[in-house]
Structure 1
């Protein structure tokens, strides 16, 4: 029997990306927000920062968790976390979109199940009868 869990967390390494794109603050934010939308996530807020002399870090907070990115344009590298909850949101759709938009020619991924339901029930100090897979609307 497959474990039930609350979320999927994909850790992504993007290599040999377009260096100009990785240093474009506005474009990175645009791509991250579009990735969330295509994955069928509900965007709550986004925060991005451009570093001097280069690099962008940012987060798109979604109702179903978050998408984050940290870029190192000087190496053509980006580290991305795609953490989604619920069955409707597909983090792999966001991954594919970002791979194409960042022009990565190599990737490495690791998917980690988050909030394994049996463990939540086992370790909780409260009796839990039902576990929700999607947060209530904001």
Structure 2
């Protein structure tokens, strides 16, 4: 069995309000996390909410990084989805932990696009 991609769902707690509410800073941290992991950044878009909060996505050749922040709670939810073997999503998550100065991080990895390799005999039986 082989996976097409790795999807890390990460929750960052205890982050500073000013960091999570600064659209340019969140954008910079997210783009740099992708680059730190070895990804090829294609484009990115971020939106600042009123009265607070930022959402955004960094599209990479290998898939994407996405974020939504709740500055008033010191919390950010992040997805790092990478395809192939070139980019390690955990490197991006480690960078984000440092960039957001998170006091606590909960993260888990989900394999995506499971490919079940079968023998030619099994394929013919289907």
Is TM > 0.5 for Structure 1 vs Structure 2? Answer: yes
After TM superposition, where is structure 1 displaced by more than 2 Å over at least 4 residues in a row?
none
Task: Count residues with an aligned counterpart.
Answer: 118
1:98-137 counterparts in 2 under 5 A?
98-118=96-116
RMSD: 1.1
In the other structure, the counterpart of 1:95 is 93
Q: What does the per-residue CA deviation read over 1:8-54, in whole Å, with 9 as the maximum and x for residues that have no partner?
A: 00000100111110000000000100000011111111000000110
How does the TM-score come out when normalised to structure 1?
0.83
Per-residue deviation, 1:58 = 0.1
Superposition deviation, residue 4 in structure 1: 1.2
Which of 57, 63, 66 is the equivalent residue of 1:65? 63
Normalising by structure 2, we get a TM-score of 0.91
Q: Helix, strand or coil: the match of 2:78? A: strand
**Aligned mates of 2:17, 2:96 — CA distance in 1:** 14
Structure 1 portions without partners, runs of 5+: 122-138
Any unmatched runs of 5+ in structure 2?
119-126
